[in-house]
Amino acid sequence: MTTANQAASAYRASQHLNQHPRDILSSVHEELYRAIVSAKAAHEQNALDQMCNHLGRGVRIITVLATTLNFSAVGRDGTVLRQFYMTLLNRLNRVSRADSISDGYQECLDLLRPMCRELRGVQPE
């Protein structure tokens, strides 16, 4: 990522500082969705270095979500949510061993799509 892109990304991120936590979570999930879409597309174009970069970004996002959110604060729902992140993380980690890597990515996207819809009310682009 170039310095200009990093600066633009930081600026976009700073716009979320005064937003509702749900909006921030929505943006994070949409970024996760885009990372998986990009990894899938890179795989389909046989751009394996790019695929690994996008996959790494997705794994880092899920890892942060799974390790920093206070799941106990919402009781049983928090347990379900933590399990959702762990399932998604496990599936992403197994994608490279799937019979069809593209199908593996698609399964992850299908799993994530309802969460993105719930948080934002629409499907991410």
Q: What is the pLDDT of residues 30-39, one digit of tens each?
A: 999 999 999 9
Residue 59 · residue 89 · CB < 8 Å: yes
**Is 39 in contact with 55 (CB distance < 8 Å)?**
yes
> Pseudo-torsion of CA 29, 31, 34, 38, nearest 10°?
-130
* Segment 52-77 mean pLDDT: 90
Rounded Cα distance, 65 and 10, in Å = 19
Domain ranges in the chain are: 21-120
pLDDT tens-digit map of 90-114: 999 999 888 899 999 999 999 999 9
What's this model's pTM, rounded to 2 decimal places? 0.79
21-120 has CATH 3.10.20.600 classification = no
